[in-house]
Amino acid sequence: MVEVTLEGYKYRYYRGEDSGHWIGVMGYKGSLGRYSNCRVPTGMWCELRKEALSNGYSNEDFAPIKAKDNSAKKSRVSKKKTDRKTISIF
């Protein structure tokens, strides 16, 4: 989990399977629409990511989690029946 302090506020980055998001953790008192445990606006994500990279986190920490696909998908082709003598209207 990535944790960054920027301008006196503390943020955390949560990874997901499709993408991730930043959440404000500490330092919030309801000023300027900032509240704790709320998602950070996307306009701030670039600054937060730069701060995290300068603190020693890597780009892999921001990559989406890859879902493991254990089931192998096989395509099955149905065979046409040539025995019947039918008329197709469509």
What's the CA gap between 64 and 67, in Å, rounded? 9
- Given this model, what pLDDT does residue 55 score? 87
Is residue 28 within 8 Å of 34, Cβ to Cβ? yes
pLDDT tens digits, one per residue of 28-49? 665 555 667 788 888 888 898 8
pLDDT tens digits, one per residue of 42-90? 888 889 889 999 988 888 887 777 766 666 666 677 666 666 677 777 7
Q: What is the pTM of this model?
A: 0.62
3 secondary structure, DSSP code: E
Other beta carbons within 10 Å of 25: 15
Q: What are phi and psi of 23, to 5 degrees?
A: -130, 135
First vs last C-alpha separation in the chain: 59
Tokens of 58: 């890597």
- Given this model, what pLDDT does residue 75 score? 67
